[in-house]
Every structure is written in C-alpha cells, then in structure tokens.
Amino acid sequence: MKNIFFIILLIFIASIAHAQRDDRPKNLPKYDNKVLHFGFTLGLNVMDFGIRHSNSFIELDSIHMIENNRRLGFNISIVSSLRLGEYFDLRFLPGLSFGQRDIDYTYYSSGHSYVKRMKIESTFIDFPFVIKYKAKRIANYRPYVIGGINSTIDLASQKEIKEEEKPKIRLNAFDVYYQFGFGIDYYLTYFKFSTEIKLGVGLLDIIRRDGTQYTRAIDRMTSNIVYISFHFE
C-alpha cells in the first residue's frame, strides 16, 4: 500500500513541476470565489487488512501462515465543497465503495499443507469530512493536500454466509478511518477536474469474534484503503 502511495506522490510532484511552467490563459478565473461547489466522483480503490497475530497463534499448530491479498475495487460519491477561505475548503463526499480482500490461511493437517482462501467482500457507505488546503493557483492548475475523518458502514458484513463459503470470518459493520492525501485541480473550459490519491487508515478492530481458530489466531485486524479519485465539479 505504501509503495502505491509513494509512486503516485512522485507523479504528483512531476505534475506540479509541469504546472509551474504553464503560462496559458486562465479558465474559470472566478471559480474559487464561489462559496459552494458541487459535483461527483468516480474512482478506484485498493483495500487491505492490517493483521496482528494473537498470542494464541503459535499454539494453533494447524495454522502456519495468514496472508492478505488485495483486489481492485471502485467507488462513486457526491461532492459538496464549502469555501472557508482563500486556501481552505471543507468537503463532504458521501458515497459508496465496493471492494474485496482475500485472506489465505495456510495450515497443516496429517503432514500436508493446505490453503483456505476466504473472500471478504465489502460495500461501504462512506461519510467523509475532509479539510482541503490549496496552494496558490498556477495558470490552470492548483495542487492541494487533504486530511480528515471517514465513518463507514459495511453493508456486505451483514450478508448471509453460504454453506459452500464456510468457514469464513465476519467483519464488524462500523469503522472509522483517518484520511490524508494530495491532488491537483485542473481548471478546464466549463468545469474543474481533479485527480487525487488518498490513504484511509482504519482505527477500529473490525474482526468479529466467533471462537473459531480463524479469529483466535488474530489479535487485531484493521482496514486500510488507497483511493484514486477523479472529481468533476
């Protein structure tokens, strides 16, 4: 997750360097003077688990390894942006995020190793509030950084587990993330387009304890999400 984040950071820095050399006429010169802006977001995400083994892990002779596999998902949201000043905005972006994470349990039985893959699907209702700090506009570009809090409800956590999917761990429905990221606003002829990368780090233990060896092997499991977003405002 960190590698993805920092690779895009390098692209972001290169884009700023290009923007500083851009002396074209300004589009939408009065856009940033408006108090309220609205729009929508389309994007991609990569969900991840942060897994910490419990003290019982070494006592569970059958389980040898727990691995997390990431999958690509997508997200949509509505943008509401309130101007707080020349350089600050308060943004509320309610939406839906769809994704999947797979957990591989490698365990031994009768002298042989086996892998049990659990496909953990998530459908989040997101309620993020973020503060956006904008740098000085350069021609038709304006880089920015963001930080805030996102409360989520995972609708898929309530989904009934099919018999062929068992055994399978469940997640708690509610989680809270702190978010930070960066992006660039592009002022086009008729609207503003933004590209953004942000990281959401879950604060709560989301594993639902059921007494099985699969949950007893984990002391704490948190959720992390990298978002690549495209805003149209």
Highest CATH level, class, for 2-232: mainly beta
Q: How sure is the predictor about 5, in pLDDT bands with cuts at 50, 70 and 90?
A: low
Mean pLDDT of 128-139: 93
**Between 116 and 176, residue with greater pLDDT:** 176
Residue 222 has pLDDT above 90, yes or no: yes
Mean pLDDT of 10-35: 70
**Burial of residue 182 (number of CB atoms within 10 Å: 0-12, 13-18, 19+):** buried
Spatial contact of 11 and 4, defined as CB atoms under 8 Å apart: no
DSSP string, the chain: -HHHHHHHHHHHHHHHHHHTT--PPPSSTTGGG-SEEEEEEEEEEEEEEEEEE-TTGGG-TTEEEEEEEE-EEEEEEEEEEEE-SSSEEEEE--EEEEEEEEEEEEEEETTEEEEEEEEEEEEEEEEEEEEEEEPPPBTTEEEEEEEEEEEEEEGGGGSPPPGGG-S--EE-SEEEEEEEEEEEEEE-SSSEEEEEEEEEEE-S--EEP-SSHHHHTEEEEEEEEEEEEEEE-
- What is the predicted pLDDT for the residue at 112? 72
- What is the predicted pLDDT for the residue at 168? 84
Q: How sure is the predictor about 35, in pLDDT bands with cuts at 50, 70 and 90?
A: very high
Q: How sure is the predictor about 181, in pLDDT bands with cuts at 50, 70 and 90?
A: very high
- What is the predicted pLDDT for the residue at 225? 94
Q: How sure is the predictor about 99, in pLDDT bands with cuts at 50, 70 and 90?
A: very high
Residue 16 has pLDDT above 60, yes or no: no
- What is the predicted pLDDT for the residue at 204? 96
Q: How sure is the predictor about 11, in pLDDT bands with cuts at 50, 70 and 90?
A: low
Domain boundaries, given as residue ranges, for the chain: 2-232
**Between 59 and 102, residue with greater pLDDT:** 102
Mean pLDDT of 172-184: 94
pLDDT in tens, 208-217: 988 888 888 8
pLDDT in tens, 143-167: 999 999 999 999 998 888 777 777 7
Q: What's the mean per-residue pLDDT of the chain?
A: 86
Mean pLDDT of 166-192: 92
